[in-house]
Every structure is written in structure tokens, then in C-alpha cells.
Amino acid sequence: MGREITNTTSNQKPQSEMSYTVEQLVAVNPYNPDILPDLENYVNEQVSSQTYSLNANLCLLRLYQFEPERMSTQIVARILIKALMAMPAPDFSLCLFLIPERVQMEEQFKTLIVLSHYLETARFRQFWDEAAKSRHILEVVPGFEQAVQAYAIHVLSITYQKVPRSVLAEAINIEGLALDKFIEHHVTNSGWAIEKNQSKGQLILLPRNEFNSPELKKSSADGIPLEHITRILPILG
């Protein structure tokens, strides 16, 4: 359980000790234009150190929204790529909500919006084709491919119990020997299994979770949150 979640975030580690101060800065000054340069530097730091902070990035987009003349489209592009890497979380839309329409008309943003559209509708083949054509925009941000692969695996994991090898290959854009190694790695580390199917080739068994095996779903209705119990504590006591 929760495998796909850790996978998604594994490529973007939580903030390191160093960045703690920027997080603090945002917490104490959520509406202070003076921290704008710090936040811009922080975006670059997130790119180079493969970390991610939605809160800090939204705070920066907010400051851009208040003072459009200070906006750096290069930084905005980086924020959006990082947001794509955070899927399945809706961060990409959260960022777009704050970026003026005329800015979104720029070529590089249009490309990112198309990429997001393909990911949102699970059209991975189109996504990888388009991403290959836009390498110049994406290669600035290390870990992009792995993050999208993690998202693809997340979607497969909530949908499939057994997924045909070809479907997996297309979703993560890996084939042949590299795919064998990839699967092998997950067999060892993530509880995958391989089943031979005579007619069509390999089937990959994905670990059961409450989303692809509804019977595993813990009936949350049966549990009672502690706060509700506390209401009757004085009575019981």
C-alpha cells in the first residue's frame, strides 16, 4: 500500500536541511515581496538538488501575480516542469490558475500544457513523442523522465492487477533489455511478479492495493476518529 505514492515522490526528495530556511521564510512572510529573489533562487536550487516545494513555488507565483513586471518566464517554466513531475498531484493546474493567460500563450508554456494534457488523460505514447520533440525545454530539469515514469506506474497500479508488458512499455517509454532490467528491479524492490502468457507474452502482476483491489479497501466508515471518541470521554469517566 502506498507504493505508488512513495514512488512518485522518491524522485523529488523532501526539502533538505539547507532549504529549511526558505521554507521558514515563506511561513513567516507569505505576503512579503522582498523574499521574491530568495524564492527564485530556491526554484533553481530545487531543480539542481531534485527537491520540491509546492508552497514556496506557489508563493513565488503569487508575488508574480501581484507584480507582473517582476515575472521571469524562465523561472515560471521551471516551476511548471517541477509541477508536472509532481503528478498525480494537481500542482500543474494549481500553478496555471495563477499565471496570466497572455503568458500562457508563449510557445514553451503551450508545449508544457500539451504535455500535461497527455499525462492527465494517460496518453503516454503521445506524451513521450511530444517530450522527445521538446527536449530543449525539459532537459534543464534533471529527473524529469523518472518522475513521469513514476507517475505512469502509479496510474497503472491503481488500474491494473495484471498489465500486459506492451502496455507497461508504452507508458514508461522503455523497451527490450532495458525494460527487462526495469521489471527485474521492481520484482526485487516493489513486489512485482511476472506471469508468462502463451498467446501474447509477458504479463506483469502489480502489487495489490485498495485501488486495484477494491476488497482491500478498509471501510473507513467502520472506524471512529479519536476526536469523536473524546466527545464521550467525560461521560464515560
Partner 1 sequence: MAGAALYDSEQSAHGDAASGYDPNYVPDSVKSFVVHMYRHIREKNVYEIHQMYETSFQSISDRFFKDTPWPSVEAVAPYVDNDHVFCLLYREMWYRHLYARHSPTLKQRIDSWDNYCNLFQVVLHGVVNMQLPNQWLWDMVDEFVYQFQSFCQYRAKMKSKTEQEIALLRQPDQAWNVYGVLNYLQALVEKSMIIQILEQEKEGLEQFTATDGYDYNGGSNVLKVLGYFSMIGLLRVHCLLGDYHTGLKCILPIDISQQGVYTSVIGSHITTVYHYGFANLMLRRYAEAIREFNKILLYIFKTKQYHQKSPQYEQILKKNEQMYALLAVSLSLCPQVKLVDETVNSQLREKYGEKMLRMQRYDDDAFALYDELFSYACPKFITPSAPSYEEPLVNYNQDAYRLQLKLFLYEVKQQQLLSGIRTFLNVYSTISIVKLASYMEVDEHTLRTILMTYKHKMHSVDADGKIVSNSDINFYIDDDMVHVMESKAAKRHGDYFLRQIVKLEGIITDIDRVKLE
Residues lying near partner 1 in the complex (CB under 8 A): 2, 4-5, 9, 30-33, 54-55, 58-59, 62, 65-68, 88-90, 93-94, 96-98, 100-101, 117, 120-125, 155-156, 158-164, 167, 197, 203, 210-215, 217, 219-224, 227-229, 231-232, 235
DSSP code per residue over 45-94: HHHHHTB--HHHHHHHHHHHHH-GGG--HHHHHHHHHHHHHTTTSTHHHH
Q: Which is nearer to partner 1, 62 or 135 (CB)?
A: 62
Name every residue whose Cβ is closer than 8 Å to that of residue 94 and which is 6 or more positions away in sequence.
54, 58, 83
The secondary element (H helix, E strand) that includes residue 202 is strand 201-205
Q: Which is nearer to partner 1, 34 or 107 (CB)?
A: 34
CB of 235 to partner 1, least distance (A): 5
CB of 234 to partner 1, least distance (A): 9
Q: Which is nearer to partner 1, 41 or 93 (CB)?
A: 93
CA 194, distance to chain mean position in Å, is 26
Cβ atoms of residues 170 and 212 within 8 Å: no
CB of 210 to partner 1, least distance (A): 7
Cβ atoms of residues 80 and 95 within 8 Å: yes
Q: Which is nearer to partner 1, 94 or 140 (CB)?
A: 94
CB of 46 to partner 1, least distance (A): 17
Q: Which is nearer to partner 1, 67 or 139 (CB)?
A: 67
CB of 129 to partner 1, least distance (A): 14
CA dihedral 159, 162, 167, 169 (to 10 degrees): 110
